[in-house]
Amino acid sequence: LGLFDTASSTVYNVPEDKVGRGFGDLTYFQANGRKYVATGPNFAGKMEWVLVDVTVPAEAKIVAVSPENTTRPNLNATGFAAYDSKRGNLILLTTNNQMVSYPLSQLVTAPIAKVVNKVNWRVDAGKVPFMGTGNTERGGGYNGATDHVLVVTRTNPTRIAVLDAADGKFLKDMDMTGVSGGTFLLNEIGITPSGQVFGANLTTNSTTSNIKIYYWANEDAKPVTVFDGKVEAARYGDGLGIEGDGNNVRIFLNGSSNDKVAEFTFNGTQLAFVKNHVVETGIARARYGMAPIPGTSLMWVNEPQNQMALFDLNTGKIVADVPEDKLAKGFGDLGYFEYGFRKYVATGPNFSGKGEFAVVDVTDPANVAIVGVTPDFPNPNLNATGFAAFDYKRNALIVMATNNAIVSYAIAGKSEVNTAPPAATIVAPADKGKVVLDGQGSKNVTFSWTPVSDADGDAISYRWHLSTQPDMSDRQMDIDVANATSTSVKQNFLYDILYWQGKRATGMTLYHRVYTFDGTSFVPGPISSFDVSLAGTFVDREEEGGIPTAFALKGNYPNPFNPTTSISFDLPEAASVEVVVTDMLGREVMRSGQLTLSAGTAQKVQIDALRLSSGNYLYRVEAKGAKKSYVATGRMTLLK
pLDDT value for 540: 46
Q: Are 435 and 445 in contact (CB under 8 A)?
A: yes
Phi, psi of 367 (to 5 degrees): -145, 60
Range 123-134 burial, b when 16+ CB lie within 10 A, else e: bebeebebbbbe
Contacts of 253-256 spanning 24+ positions with Cβ under 8 A = 253/200, 253/211, 253/213, 254/284, 254/285, 254/286, 254/287, 254/290, 254/301, 255/202, 255/203, 255/204, 255/284, 255/287, 256/284, 256/287
Supply the pLDDT for residue 280.
72
Fold of the domain spanning 547-640: Immunoglobulin-like (2.60.40)
Rounded Cα distance between 374 and 354, Å, is 10
pLDDT at 414: 52
- Angle among Cα 155, 242, 301 to the nearest 5 degrees reads 90
Domains 420-546 and 547-640 alike in fold:
yes
Residues paired with residue 595 on neighbouring β-strands, in sequence order: 577
Contact 509, 498 (CB under 8 A): no
Superfamily of chain region 420-546: Immunoglobulins (2.60.40.10)
pLDDT score for 541: 44
Averages of pLDDT over runs of 10 residues in the chain (640 residues) are: 83 84 89 83 85 86 81 84 86 91 69 77 93 87 96 88 96 95 91 96 92 97 96 92 94 89 94 89 74 90 88 88 90 87 89 91 90 90 88 91 94 62 94 90 89 83 90 79 89 82 90 87 90 75 62 84 86 92 85 86 86 87 92 86
Q: What share of the chain is helix, strand, coil (3-state, %, to 5)?
A: 5, 50, 45
Is the sign of the CA dihedral 302, 303, 308, 309 positive or negative?
negative
Q: What is the DSSP string of 66-123?
A: PPP--SS--TT--EEEEEETTTTEEEEEETTTEEEEEEHHHHSPPPBPSB--EEEEEE
CA angle 278, 283, 286 (to 5 degrees): 75
> Which of 248, 157, 141 minimizes the C-alpha distance to 199?
141
Report the amino acid identity of residue 405.
Answer: A
CATH 2.60.40.10 fits 118-410, yes or no: no
Instruction: Report domain extents, the chain.
Output: 2-107, 118-410, 420-546, 547-640
Which residues lie below 8 Å from residue 398, measured CB to CB, with a gap of 6+? 142, 149, 165, 388, 389, 390, 391, 406, 407, 408, 409
What pLDDT shows up at residue 545?
A: 47
Neighbours of 373 (CB within 10 A): 18
Q: What angle do CA 604, 609, 615 make, to 5 degrees?
A: 110
